[in-house]
Amino acid sequence: AAGVIQSPRHLIKEKRETATLKCYPIPRHDTVYWYQQGPGQDPQFLISFYEKMQSDKGSIPDRFSAQQFSDYHSELNMSSLELGDSALYFCASSHSDFQETQYFGPGTRLLVL
C-alpha cells in the first residue's frame, strides 16, 4: 500500500539558511499534519491542514510557514535556521472520514550546523 512520502530524507543546512520540507500524503488523504521530534524527545505537533486550509496550529515558530497545495501535498518552509531546529520532522496524513487515524511518513532529518 502507498505510504506517506517525505523529501528529502536528510538535509544539512547552515545557521540562518532556509529549508523546505515536502510531504506527499497517502492518495485520497486530504489532511496533513507536521510534527517535530527533537533528539530524545517525543514528537510535537506543529501545524495541520485540511483541504488546503490551515486547520490547527501548535508550537510552530514564526520563522516557519507551511501550506497545502491543490494536489494535497504540503511544504514546510523554515527560514533563519537555528541550531535548535535540528530535529526529525514528520508528516502524517489522514482522510477526513477517518481523521482520527494518522499515518506517518519516514521523516526528514534536518541538521543545522
Partner 1 sequence: AQSVTQPDIHITVSEGASLELRCNYSYGATPYLFWYVQSPGQGLQLLLKYFSGDTLVQGIKGFEAEFKRSQSSFNLRKPSVHWSDAAEYFCAVGVGANDYKLSFGAGTTVTVRA
Residue 93 binding partner 1, by CB under 8 A: no
Please state, in angstroms and as integers, the Cα–Cα distance from residue 64 to each residue in 72, 78, 85, following that order: 19, 4, 10
Of the two residues 56 and 82, which places its CB atom closer to partner 1 in the complex? 56
Of the two residues 48 and 81, which places its CB atom closer to partner 1 in the complex? 48
| Angle, alpha carbons 36-39-42 (nearest 5°) | 55
Q: What are phi and psi of 24, to 5 degrees?
A: -115, 110
Instruction: Enumerate residues 23-82 that contact partner 1 by CB under 8 A.
Output: 31, 33, 35, 41-45, 48, 50, 55-56, 58
Per DSSP, 84 falls in state G
DSSP result, 10-40: EEEE-TT--EEEEEEPPTT--EEEEEEE-TT
Of the two residues 48 and 74, which places its CB atom closer to partner 1 in the complex? 48
Shortest gap between Cβ of 45 and partner 1 (angstroms)? Answer: 4
Binding interface with partner 1 (CB under 8 A): 31, 33, 35, 41-45, 48, 50, 55-56, 58, 90, 92, 94, 99-107, 109
